[in-house]
Amino acid sequence: MSCCAGSNRCKFEFPAGNPIVDNSVDSLHAKYLFLPYGTLLLEGELVRIWTENGQTKSVLIEKKIPITVTPTGLKVANEESFIPWELVALDSAIELDNLENWYFHPLHNPSEPTVLLKFKHPYDNKKSIKNIFLSILYKIRNL
């Protein structure tokens, strides 16, 4: 978490609920999260992603993809799945160059497994003006 050196504006606590992923995401609409030190979370588990300003959102872990870090780049164990590394870098708030050259990054730990989480967001039924108007008319009719 970010500590916002010397200011009190970033002092927040997460409410009780589903487990929270280890690292923050850039936005609550993130589809991927790069975890350089692995995770105990499982596929199909309902978790919460979070941003550095303290917002959370419940999502489902669709896939937990093991990553092999080599000097030539990141390799996916299962080659049949396509990974958009630009989107992974954007969602994980990591620069693409740092992500592609993670083997040479100062925080790289070769003894820890690297994992990529792919999230499935629940469908949010957003009300349109028409639906709001119809619900008001329905309530008036049933008075």
pLDDT digits (tens, 9 = 90+) for 44-62: 899 999 888 888 899 999 9
How far CA 16 is from CA of 2, 19, 21, 75, 128, in Å, comes to 20, 9, 14, 36, 31
pTM of the model: 0.75
pLDDT, tens only, 100-126:
898 898 888 888 888 999 999 887 777
Q: Strand pairing of 73-76 and 114-120?
A: unpaired
pLDDT at 1: 44
pLDDT of residue 71: 86
- Residues 131 and 99 sit within 8 Å (Cβ to Cβ): no
Residue 3 pLDDT > 60, yes or no?
Answer: no
Q: Is the pLDDT of residue 9 over 80?
A: no
